[in-house]
Structure 1
Amino acid sequence: MAQPRTDRLITAVDIGSSKVAALIAQPTEGGLQVLGSGQRESRGVTNGYITDMERTEQAVREAVEQAETIARTNVDEVVVGFSAGGLHSDVASVEVGLGGQQVAQRDIDALLDAGRNSIDPAGRLVLHAQPTLYTLDGLKGVRQPLGLYAETLGVDIHVVSADPSPLRNLDHCVRAAHLGVEAIVAAPIATATACLSEEERELGVALVELGAGVTNVSLFAGGLLVGLASLPMGAREITDDIASTFGMARGQAERMKCVHGSAQTAPRDNHDMIETPGGDGMEPIRITRAQLIGVIRQRLDQWFAAIEDKLKELGFTGPIARRLVLTGGGAELKGIAEYAQGVLGRAVRIGRPKGLLGLPDAHAGMSFTTLAGLALYTASQPLDLRRGHSMQEITRLSPGGMVQRLIQAFRTSY
Structure 2
Amino acid sequence: MASQPRITRVFGAVNIGSFRVSAMIAGMTENGEMTVLGSGHRAAQGIKRGYVTDMAAATYAVRDALERAEKLAGTSVTDVWIGASGAGLASRISQVEIEIGGRRIEEEDIEQLLAAARDALEPDGRMVLHAQPACYFLDGADGVANPKGLHAERLGVDIHTMLADGAPMRNLREAVENAHLHVEAIVASPLATGYACLTAEERDLGVALVEFGGEVTNVAVFAAGMLVGLTAIPTGSADITDAIASTLGIRRFQAERLKCVHGSAIASPNDHRELVAVAGPGDDRSGPIARGADEQNRIPRSELISIITGELDRLVSDIGRALETHGFSAGFAGGRSGSRSRQVVFTGGGAELAGLADYAQAALGKPVRIGRAPQLRGLPEAHAVPGFATLAGLVLYAAEDPVDVRTVNTGQQITGQFGATAMARRLWHAMKEYF
TM-score computed with the length of structure 2 as normaliser: 0.85
SS in 1 for 2:151: coil
Q: Could you say which residue in structure 2 is the equivalent of 1:156?
A: 158
Q: Could you say which residue in structure 1 is the equivalent of 2:352?
A: 332
Contact conserved, 2:207 with 2:221, CA < 8 A, in 1? yes
d(CA) in 2 for partners of 1:254 and 1:386? 44
SS in 2 for 1:110: helix
Shift of 1:197: 1.5
Choose 356-365 or 324-333, whichever is displaced more.
Answer: 356-365
d(CA) in 1 for partners of 2:143 and 2:70? 44
Contact conserved, 1:127 with 1:386, CA < 8 A, in 2? no
**2:285 corresponds to 1:282:** no
d(CA) in 2 for partners of 1:88 and 1:330? 22
d(CA) in 1 for partners of 2:393 and 2:141? 33
Shift of 1:21: 0.5
Q: Could you say which residue in structure 2 is the equivalent of 1:27?
A: 28
Contact conserved, 1:14 with 1:80, CA < 8 A, in 2? yes
Aligned counterparts, 1:176-325, within 5 A:
176-277=178-279, 281-283=287-289, 285-317=297-329, 318=331, 320-325=340-345
Contact conserved, 1:21 with 1:39, CA < 8 A, in 2? yes
d(CA) in 1 for partners of 2:263 and 2:127? 40
d(CA) in 2 for partners of 1:386 and 1:109? 12
Q: Could you say which residue in structure 2 is the equivalent of 1:49?
A: 51
Choose 159-168 or 148-157, whichever is displaced more.
Answer: 148-157
C-alpha spacing 1:282/1:355, structure 2 compared with 1 (3 Å): closer
Residue of structure 1 aligned with 2:115, choices 103, 113, 116: 113
Q: Could you say which residue in structure 2 is the equivalent of 1:13?
A: 14
Aligned counterparts, 1:86-105, within 5 A:
86-105=88-107
Contact conserved, 2:375 with 2:384, CA < 8 A, in 1? no
For these two proteins, the number of residue pairs brought into alignment is: 383
**2:386 corresponds to 1:385:** no
RMSD: 1.7
Shift of 1:138: 5.4
The residue type equivalent to 2:298 in the other structure is R
The residue type equivalent to 1:258 in the other structure is C
The residue type equivalent to 1:329 in the other structure is G
The residue type equivalent to 1:159 in the other structure is T
SS in 2 for 1:356: coil
d(CA) in 2 for partners of 1:283 and 1:309? 39
The structure richer in helix per residue is: 1
The residue type equivalent to 2:256 in the other structure is E
Shift of 1:129: 0.9
Choose 38-47 or 343-352, whichever is displaced more.
Answer: 38-47
Q: Could you say which residue in structure 1 is the equivalent of 2:86?
A: 84
Shift of 1:375: 0.6
The residue type equivalent to 2:63 in the other structure is R
Structure 1: runs of 5 or more not aligned? 1-5, 389-414
SS in 2 for 1:9: strand
Q: Percent identity?
A: 52
SS in 1 for 2:406: coil
Shift of 1:145: 2.2
Shift of 1:270: 0.9
Could you list the per-position Cα deviations for residues 343-401 of structure 1 after superposition, in whole angstroms to 9, with x for gaps in the alignment? 0001110000105211011211110000000011101122221348xxxxxxxxxxxxx
Q: Could you say which residue in structure 1 is the equivalent of 2:374?
A: 354
The residue type equivalent to 2:305 in the other structure is I
**2:149 corresponds to 1:147:** yes
Choose 44-53 or 335-344, whichever is displaced more.
Answer: 44-53
